[in-house]
């Protein structure tokens, strides 16, 4: 799927030496805990930004990104760089892939979607994601050998003690934000950092 309008704006900013604040907010997990949908938002240096969704398959360690909005500007609002037709293609692909990994949430596909306002297109029907309390989060990451005070750890609501994976985000909402996953090892009975994105 084409992502060039989004990437062009993103890399134009980074080419100027700008590090853009980003957020990675998990919004839904499937019932098995093997896939999570993450809302990625980037804020432009002078205005506008971008919005996309990452579908992370925990077992295959693969992440796909679906771009919905990109309107970076220099103080004067600009038109969408991702037009309606392209947005609809991304939405259709995202809905198909979410079904394949047993997520029940879907993006709206009505005639008014993918137009100027693209903020409330997702209908959530899956297990919500919640932040792990700070003390427990620091214990998890330190046991996995990660020492970083700027981490946020997320898991599905009511996750079991041996839940398959946790999503960890570093510097969320700041320049240089990254995310990675920790998988549960039945042999060691602990979590291990498996892949950074």
Give the residue among 65, 69, 35, 71 at the shortest CA–CA distance from 53. 65
Burial of 106 (0-12, 13-18, 19+ CB in 10 A): middle
Neighbours of 46 (CB within 10 A): 12
Residue 158, H or E segment: none
pLDDT tens, residue by residue, 117-145? 787 899 999 989 889 888 888 888 888 77
pLDDT at 13: 46
> Could you tell me if 184 and 167 are in contact, meaning their C-beta atoms sit under 8 angstroms apart?
no
> Number of H helices and number of E strands within the chain?
3, 11
């Amino acid at each position: 799927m084409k992502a060039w309008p989004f990437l062009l704006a993103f890399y134009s900013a980074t080419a100027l030496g700008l590090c853009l604040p980003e957020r990675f907010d998990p919004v839904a997990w499937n019932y098995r805990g093997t896939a999570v949908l993450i809302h990625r938002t980037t804020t432009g240096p002078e205005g506008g930004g971008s919005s996309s969704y990452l579908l992370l398959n925990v077992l295959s360690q693969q992440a796909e990104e679906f771009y919905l909005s990109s309107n970076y500007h220099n103080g004067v609002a600009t038109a969408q760089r991702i037009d309606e037709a392209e947005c609809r293609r991304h939405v259709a692909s995202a809905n198909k892939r979410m079904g394949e990994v047993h997520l029940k949430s879907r993006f709206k596909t009505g005639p008014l979607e993918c137009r100027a306002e693209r903020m409330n297109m997702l209908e959530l029907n899956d297990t919500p994601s919640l932040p792990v309390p700070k003390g427990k989060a620091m214990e998890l990451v330190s046991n996995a050998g990660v020492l970083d005070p700027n981490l946020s750890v997320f898991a599905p609501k009511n996750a079991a003690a041996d839940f398959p994976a946790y999503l960890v985000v570093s510097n969320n909402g700041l320049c240089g934000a990254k995310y990675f996953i920790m998988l549960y090892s039945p042999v060691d009975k602990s979590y291990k950092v498996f892949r950074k994105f």
